[in-house]
Amino acid sequence: MEINSAAAYYTTIDKTPRSVRSLFAKYESINHPVISEFISSIPNNFSDAVNKMMSSSFTSSSNRAITADHPVNHVILNNRAKLQKFIDKFHLEANTMTSGVSSNIKLLNLPTTKILVSIHQPNLFAYSGVFKKIVLLETLKNTIEKNDPDKKIINLFLIVDHDFMNGSWVRLAQLPSIRHSSGILELRLPVSNSMRWKMVSNMPIPGRTILEYWRKQINSWIRKNSFLNFSTSDDKSRVLRNFEEFWQEVEISYSRAKSYSDFNSFLMSQLVNKIWGYNTLFVRLTDTPSVFEDGFKYLISNFNRYSDVLRKTQNIFLAHGIDTGVSSSSYLNAPMWLHCRCGSKAHAKIQENQQQETILEGTCMSCKKYLHIKLDNHHHKLDLSNEEVIHTLSPRAIPILLLLSRDLGVECYASGIGGSMGYTVVASTIFRELSINMPLTLVWPSTDIYFGFGQSDALELVQLTKQSDIMTHIERLKQIDAKHRYEITPLIKERMRRINDGEPIQALLSDLFKLKEEQRKTRRLIKAADKVKNIVYMRPCFIDYAANFGMVNTEIQWRQNLLNNNNLAAPILMTTKVEN
């Protein structure tokens, strides 16, 4: 039995072409010239992205032409040389140093090499959007190189491993399950209060007991699924085999990881570099402070300009009632975090002492210790060459984008559609103010349309066949519930009147009981329908894709749809049957 037929569900989606730029409509509504210019530069189609990267130049939001074939300067080339050893370190530790990865690392030595970059936290069994950014950039890279074999491009994935364990998605993965109260099976890493403010890079790997518990949860989720139990044995065997193949990669990553961050990022690299055969280069943010040494000095020296434009931009958005996701007080903080020996970090402030020395100071989020470092000044110029000092720093969200462009010459950045989108919009004004070239920004917000066994099980519960029917079904049930309320209210009033007047109420109670029973039944159906809605509209973690389609098949469908649809906002119709 075919778990999902794309043709059968094509009617569940809106066929009207949707624009990537429409996602930024609320930001564009303020009519800020720099932000409007930035938004207008974002490609709607994959072919637009290819053409912009292939062209001899494109204009960034800093209004300066970026010459695509012009070699990077010696400072950037020196930073790329530093970066190589940290990429090397990651792939050797992850055991994903393929010949392709090794060759791409060496491309960093060439001054004409382009860098495409995506960034994300090392989340537990990350959801599809994290992987799709890598697929987008790798497909872009391959398409450009096919059109012009002389171009040299690398796809870089920056692992943001300095985030706090407090972030929910870092330690939570979700799967669709009608047997759970909300319709969601949650795989969780238990984190004590004392560990919530640790950086992900400093969190130990999960215990073997936890890993086995996750495996049992997923196995049970598959084996107890009603849809699979009524399908052919081949379907269930295929899904179980797909999961076992995925879990082998989990075990390999677990065996090599020394931290929770590495467990998750090694698994991503294992999948991307070994299973998919991509040459994507992975590197940890916490390994790279020395790469951004010059950029740190630049941002600290220009902090007043950085802070002022960030404050003004935020105030403009706040005045229009727009939440960008950037803290309203972020302009008060230094562009980098200050790390603590306990494994956490602090919001840093930039101060100057009586000797006119620059000081970074803050209070650790975990142990509450006061932290401060004095930055050496030589001839009124900051000096961060001290290894002990530089490795206590890591960039905040917006500065990460600034540093990637300024210090590594990154020319293309794949943004997500969550918090990173707001950060990127705000960053566009800072790029302009600090005269840093802003990379071409890509967004691939396509929705995956598919019905795996979890989604199919849910729809069978409410006897529906299409995702689009669930909202209509809920609305119809709510109308019935409202009708019940309308009919019950006067009966309750009449019951009170009869009781007060001493009149018989038996017949009325019988009518009231029937209506209340119908109301309870309707509300149970609404509750079940809401659970189904949660399932069919959720964004499950990658395990759902691996089990339903297989790891390789998933990548093939994303890539083929990207090339065939062209429209970056077009939905992706996924099926268990795919041609290479």
**Chain segment 226-275, per-residue pLDDT in tens:** 877 767 778 889 999 999 999 999 999 999 999 999 999 999 999 999 99
Grade residue 580 by pLDDT with cuts at 50, 70 and 90: very low
The pLDDT assigned to 381 comes to 66
The pLDDT assigned to 551 comes to 96
Q: For residue 456, how many other CB atoms are within 10 A of its CB? A: 26
Grade residue 456 by pLDDT with cuts at 50, 70 and 90: confident
pLDDT at 14 over 70: no
The pLDDT assigned to 59 comes to 40
pLDDT, one tens digit per residue, over 545-572 is 999 999 999 999 999 999 998 999 988 9
The pLDDT assigned to 165 comes to 94
Grade residue 168 by pLDDT with cuts at 50, 70 and 90: confident
The pLDDT assigned to 161 comes to 96
Grade residue 525 by pLDDT with cuts at 50, 70 and 90: confident
Chain centroid, CA 22 distance in Å: 19
Assess contact for 96 and 279: CB atoms under 8 A.
Answer: no
What proportions of the chain, in percent to the nearest 5, are helix, strand and coil?
Answer: 55, 15, 30
Average of per-residue pLDDT across 114-121: 96
Average of per-residue pLDDT across 184-208: 94
- Rounded to 10 deg, the angle between the 208-223 and 542-549 helix axes is 50
pTM summary value: 0.89
E-assigned strand segments in 69-223:
114-120, 153-159, 172-176, 184-188
pLDDT at 63 over 70: no
Long-range contact pairs involving 306-314 (C-beta distance under 8 Å, separation at least 24):
306/335, 306/430, 306/433, 306/434, 307/331, 307/332, 309/429, 309/430, 309/433, 310/398, 310/426, 310/429, 310/430, 312/429, 313/32, 313/426, 313/429, 313/430, 314/426
Q: Which letter does DSSP use for residue 199 in this model?
A: B
The pLDDT assigned to 229 comes to 72
pLDDT at 68 over 80: no
| Alpha carbons 354 and 572: distance in angstroms, whole number | 61
Average of per-residue pLDDT across 455-483: 85
Please provide the average confidence, as pLDDT, over all residues in the chain. 88
The pLDDT assigned to 89 comes to 97
Query: Dihedral of the CA atoms 167, 170, 171, 176 (nearest 10)?
Result: 110
Mean pLDDT check: name the lowest of 131-140, 227-236, 444-453, 469-478. Answer: 227-236
Average of per-residue pLDDT across 117-134: 95
pLDDT, one tens digit per residue, over 284-342 is 999 999 999 999 999 999 999 999 999 999 999 998 898 888 888 889 999 999 999 99
H-run or E-run covering 531? helix 506-537
Average of per-residue pLDDT across 103-108: 96
Q: Are strands 114-120 and 412-415 parallel, antiparallel or unpaired?
A: parallel
pLDDT at 7 over 70: no
The tokens for 184 are 């969601």
The tokens for 578 are 């795919």
393 forms beta bridges with 338
pLDDT at 579 over 80: no
Average of per-residue pLDDT across 179-205: 93
pLDDT at 345 over 60: yes
- Can you say whether residue 277 is alpha, beta or left, with left for phi > 0 and alpha for psi between -120 and 50 degrees? left
Across 436-449, b (16+ Cβ under 10 Å) vs e yields bbbbbbbbbbbebb
Q: For residue 504, how many other CB atoms are within 10 A of its CB? A: 8
Grade residue 66 by pLDDT with cuts at 50, 70 and 90: very low
| Alpha carbons 575 and 381: distance in angstroms, whole number | 59
Mean pLDDT check: name the lowest of 160-164, 363-367, 373-377. Answer: 373-377
The pLDDT assigned to 62 comes to 38
The pLDDT assigned to 501 comes to 84
281 vs 62: which has the higher pLDDT: 281
Mean pLDDT check: name the lowest of 453-457, 530-534, 575-579. Answer: 575-579
pLDDT at 403 over 80: yes
Query: Dihedral of the CA atoms 48, 53, 59, 64 (nearest 10)?
Result: 170
Q: Are strands 336-339 and 381-383 parallel, antiparallel or unpaired?
A: unpaired
Closest CA to 416 of 45, 119, 169: 119
The pLDDT assigned to 380 comes to 56
pLDDT, one tens digit per residue, over 294-310 is 999 999 999 999 999 99
Q: Which letter does DSSP use for residue 181 in this model?
A: T
The pLDDT assigned to 577 comes to 64
477 vs 379: which has the higher pLDDT: 477
| Alpha carbons 426 and 422: distance in angstroms, whole number | 6
The pLDDT assigned to 153 comes to 95
The tokens for 551 are 């790891």
φ and ψ of 196, to 5 deg: -65, -30
536 vs 468: which has the higher pLDDT: 536
